[in-house]
């Protein structure tokens, strides 16, 4: 079962305007395409996070031996 949120057009437009204003205040050097290594490190963070919090449908706060084993292999 999925969840879909429907936002008013005004909310989307206001958010996009906010992002545009924030970007205009930042140095243009920050608006570049990340290198392959930077992107891999970024994606790797989320893969490690998924393993650390578990993706095996276990109850929150309970241990998951499989995730710990997979994390150990990723760090090796």
pLDDT digits (tens, 9 = 90+) for 13-31: 999 999 999 989 988 887 7
Among 4, 21, 23, smallest CA distance to 13 is for 21
Could you tell me what percent of the chain has a pLDDT over 70?
58
The model's pTM is 0.38
pLDDT above 70 for 58: no
- The SS3 call for residue 57 is coil
More confident residue, 59 or 32: 32
């Amino acid at each position: 079962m999925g969840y879909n949120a429907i936002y008013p057009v005004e909310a989307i437009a206001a958010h996009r305007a906010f992002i545009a204003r924030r970007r205009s205040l930042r140095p243009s050097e920050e608006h570049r395409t990340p290198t392959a290594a930077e992107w891999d490190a970024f994606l790797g963070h989320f893969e490690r996070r998924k393993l650390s919090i578990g993706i095996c449908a276990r109850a929150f706060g309970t241990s998951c031996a499989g995730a710990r084993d997979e994390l150990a292999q990723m760090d090796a």
